[in-house]
Amino acid sequence: MGSLLSCLSDPSPSSSPPPAVKRRSSSASSRRASSAAIDEEALAAAAALVLGQRGSFAGVGGAFERSASVRYAAKRGGQQQQGGLGFPPLPRSSSTRPRSLADPDLHPQQLLAKDLNTKDLETNIIVLVHGGGFGAWCWYKTIALLEDSGFRVNAIDLTGSGIHSYDTNKIGSLMQYAEPLTSYLKSLGDTEKVILVGHDFGGACLSYAMEMFPSKVAKAVFLCAAMLKNGHSALDMFQQQMDTNGTLQRAQEFVYSNGKDKPPTAINIDKSSLKDLLFNQSPSKDVSLASVSMRPIPFAPVLEKLVLTEEKYGSVRRFYVETTEDNAIPLHLQQSMCESNPPEKILRLKGSDHAPFFSKPQALHKTLVEIATMPLVQTS
């Protein structure tokens, strides 16, 4: 999204341990085999979503249908026990290092306190709002992790995004673009609240929704997103960052569905630039998924200046999550937004590119749970 705005960013025990070289080789092989299996599972689950098997995401969204994930997880577990394709099971790593948040084999239950009960929280409903060009499909890892931790999760397809069938070129306002999100919030009961998580240009949709339904938003999380102030547009915010090497400008492809003599109606991102610009730290299979799933970004909502009041927008608790290896919205621009419009707390995902749901899913999950469980600190 930053790019489009810059133009106008066990084994059996033995009597003696094997040599150290063999231990390192065994560990590396095990990690590669585990990573490959996880990639296969993740891509299969995401493909099911893109093909519409999760039809509940159409319109205002719905709960994640996990049958594909469970099916492939069971298959993978069987392969690990059988050794896969009839081969003996791979030896386990002899490394004694503690598992890190980036370890793909780390289960969410190991990340959290065992006594976490999401029903005791102000709300256990988390609504995920994608960024420009993305769709609900991009959250597939995050959805699974949060649901396994006890949260109720909805991922929204904004108008003309993901499997929402509307023509992107016909979107004329931020209100129209964010309609699936605002319709969902409107459908909530009088006492129901949610945690909104917005990525990239989805941050503008969060701000708009916070102004419309402040009583229904317990917390708003801006994930390397446009966190706008009153009277500002996404274009205003991102024009602070001028690309010095031309990468962002070269990645943009403007669409003029109303003719060249009229303003652009949408923007595409050149597929050859996707990895360097958005996914420079993400697994290759997630990059492939994005390359066949991303859709044009509507241009009119980018230009729209928001009207935000302290009484409504300002009453919602805001959090910002920085991504340190972000080439689309560089860290210094994220920090500039936080300085000019300070949130309650700033958190950071080290080593993450512009797609932390791909590059750092476990760390993102831990951060979202931390925010969800963060009590309000009363000030005197």
- Structure token digits, residue 159: 């108008």
**Residue 39 burial by Cβ neighbours in a 10 Å radius (0-12, 13-18, 19+):** middle
The question of whether 261 is a catalytic residue gets the answer: no
Do 269 and 276 contact (CB within 8 A), yes or no?
no
H/E element holding 336? helix 331-340
Q: How far apart are CA 373 and CA 29, in angstroms?
A: 37
Distances from the Cα of 337 to the Cα of 9, 127, 232, 300, 319, angstroms:
14, 23, 12, 22, 12
H/E element holding 155? strand 152-156
The question of whether 353 is a catalytic residue gets the answer: no
Do 53 and 65 contact (CB within 8 A), yes or no?
yes
The question of whether 354 is a catalytic residue gets the answer: yes
Q: How far apart are CA 271 and CA 290, in angstroms?
A: 9
User: Strand order in 345-349's β-sheet?
Assistant: 152-156, 125-129, 194-199, 217-223, 317-323, 345-349
CA-derived radius of gyration, the chain: 22
Find the catalytic residue in 157, 200, 236, 286.
200
Which residues are designated catalytic? 200, 326, 354
